[in-house]
């Protein structure tokens, strides 16, 4: 009869498995950890994808949405005017002045007049400065409040003309695109637009119904003239 060798008697110091015990099978540990590692990889990929989509979506919405609204508004005004008082579209490089105050009816018919005041005459114009600058002439309003804001394609107001910024005396302003290299005529203040497309939105205060004719006569004196035509007329 052969004696059973004890573990401590093995010359290699390794424990020999008996019939009741079995050691770990080769590859068992790695097989058990693989699903956990794969799951973590899927989670990281999912989170990374969500973050990229969120960043691109947010950036695209912030950057492109104002341009889409701006272009849609431009097409509406150029083709159909304000949709309330103007019978047709307002040509580019033309300033249109509303002859009446905004009312619930006119506001309902025009997106441009949403939130309009009922003590204000509005003037609207779209500039294309790609070929040459425009000269904006404003009259002496004798202290009457008026303002003209300049809005770029991103919806940013980059300049103002009016009582709060330039006073109420008569003035002339050359509005040029960013790449125009000429000089402004004497007595003319230059305003540089960041883009060649500019929305002008003017307001003239109307103190009462009886004051409406006088306010309208003043508002009509706010005019746009191409630089070449203005220089020829001087």
Q: Which domain range does residue 173 map to?
A: 78-233
Give me the torsion for CA of 71, 75, 78, 82, rounded to 10°: -90
Residues with pLDDT less than 70, the chain: 1-42, 44, 46, 48-76, 78, 80-88, 103-116, 232-234
Both tokens of 88, joined, read 């047709």
Q: Is residue 61 part of a domain?
A: no
Quick: pLDDT tens for 25-47.
554 444 455 556 666 666 767 67
Q: Is residue 191 part of a domain?
A: yes
Q: Is residue 178 part of a domain?
A: yes
- With contact defined as beta carbons under 8 Å apart, do 173 and 185 qualify? no
In this predicted structure, what is the pLDDT of residue 2? 46
Q: Is residue 200 part of a domain?
A: yes
Both tokens of 13, joined, read 């110091």
Both tokens of 226, joined, read 């191409």
In this predicted structure, what is the pLDDT of residue 90? 82
Class of residue 136 by CB neighbours under 10 A (exposed 0-12, middle 13-18, buried 19+)? buried
Q: Is residue 25 part of a domain?
A: no
224: CATH: 2.60.40
Cβ atoms within 10 Å of 98's Cβ, excluding its own: 24
The secondary structure element, H or E, covering residue 32 is helix 28-80
Q: Is residue 120 part of a domain?
A: yes
- With contact defined as beta carbons under 8 Å apart, do 127 and 96 qualify? no
Strand extents, DSSP E, the chain: 95-97, 120-128, 134-138, 146-151, 157-162, 171-176, 189-192, 197-205, 223-226
Residue found by looking up tokens 């790695």 in the block: 30
The secondary structure element, H or E, covering residue 140 is none
Cβ atoms within 10 Å of 113's Cβ, excluding its own: 20
- With contact defined as beta carbons under 8 Å apart, do 144 and 168 qualify? yes
Report the distance separating Cα 93 and Cα 125, nearest Å: 6
Q: Is residue 140 part of a domain?
A: yes
Q: Is residue 83 part of a domain?
A: yes
In this predicted structure, what is the pLDDT of residue 169? 96
Count the domains in the chain.
1
Quick: pLDDT tens for 96-134.
898 888 765 555 555 555 556 778 998 988 899 999 999
């Amino acid at each position: 009869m052969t004696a059973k060798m004890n573990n401590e008697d093995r010359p290699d110091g390794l424990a020999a498995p008996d019939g009741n015990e079995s050691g770990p099978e080769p590859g068992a540990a790695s097989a058990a950890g693989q699903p956990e590692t794969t799951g973590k990889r899927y989670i990281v990929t999912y989170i990374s994808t969500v973050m990229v989509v969120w960043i691109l979506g947010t950036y695209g919405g912030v950057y492109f949405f104002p341009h889409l609204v701006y272009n849609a508004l431009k097409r509406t005004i150029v083709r159909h005017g304000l949709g309330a008082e103007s019978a047709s579209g307002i040509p580019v490089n033309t300033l249109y002045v509303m002859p009446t105050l905004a009312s619930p009816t006119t506001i309902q018919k025009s997106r441009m007049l949403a939130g309009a005041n009922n003590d204000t005459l509005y003037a609207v114009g779209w500039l294309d400065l790609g070929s040459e600058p425009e000269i904006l002439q404003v009259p002496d309003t004798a202290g009457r409040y008026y303002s003209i804001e300049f809005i770029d394609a991103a919806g940013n107001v980059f300049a103002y003309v009016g009582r709060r910024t330039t006073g109420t005396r008569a003035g002339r302003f050359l509005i040029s695109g960013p790449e125009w290299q000429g000089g402004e005529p004497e007595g003319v203040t230059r305003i540089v637009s960041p883009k060649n497309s500019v929305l002008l939105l003017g307001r003239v205060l109307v103190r009462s119904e009886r004051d409406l004719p006088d306010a309208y006569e003043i508002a009509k004196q706010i005019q746009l003239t191409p630089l070449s035509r203005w220089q020829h007329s001087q």
